[in-house]
Amino acid sequence: VPLLQAAGKKNSLNLLGLTEAELKEQFVRGDGPGGQATNKTNNCVVLKHIPSGIVVKCHQTRSMEQNRKIAREILQEKIDLFYKGEDSDVFKEKKASEKKKQEKKRRAKENLERKKHFKEMQQLDKK
């Protein structure tokens, strides 16, 4: 299940294909903010991949067609992760972005330490 959290990347090219026969699609009312516009329309897409049992719920836009497209993209990435695991491109992209984020955080921390040290040196020079 934690592997499936990595889905959501848009630039994966080598994903497993989906066939419409393997999918079960439902349209439900969305939830969250939006009031009457949300409560009256069934534009939230619930997509289930029958062989794997993976379910995706998408209500990112007001358009049902856009939500259908986005739901299929997310489901395709989750299925790729489910079957390929750590060999999946989506997983590799997620790991690379985490590594980049950690490196940025480390550099920021080093910078902060340098500034702190510089201020201490200035304080000593003034005395």
Same domain, 41 and 76: yes
Within the chain, strands assigned E span 23-28, 44-49, 54-58
Q: How far is CA 59 from CA 46, 53, 66, 68, 93, in A?
A: 9, 20, 9, 9, 25
Number of structural domains found in the chain: 2
- Structural domain for 119, as ranges: 86-126
- Higher-scoring residue by pLDDT: 36, 117: 117
CB atoms within 10 A of CB 61: 13
Entry pTM:
0.62
Same domain, 28 and 68: yes
Question: What confidence score (pLDDT) does residue 70 get?
Answer: 92
Question: What confidence score (pLDDT) does residue 3 get?
Answer: 47
Same domain, 79 and 113: no
Longest pairwise C-alpha distance within the chain: 78
Same domain, 29 and 79: yes
Mind listing the pLDDT tens digit for each residue in 60-112? 888 889 999 999 988 988 888 888 878 877 788 888 889 999 999 999 999 99
Question: What confidence score (pLDDT) does residue 14 get?
Answer: 62
Same domain, 67 and 122: no
Is residue 5 a part of any domain in this protein?
Answer: no
| 3-state SS, residue 27 | strand
Closest CA to 28 of 40, 38, 43: 43
Same domain, 26 and 70: yes
- For residue 66, the domain's CATH number is 3.30.160.20
Same domain, 94 and 116: yes
Same domain, 24 and 71: yes
Mind listing the pLDDT tens digit for each residue in 11-58? 555 667 777 888 999 998 887 777 777 777 888 999 999 999 999 999
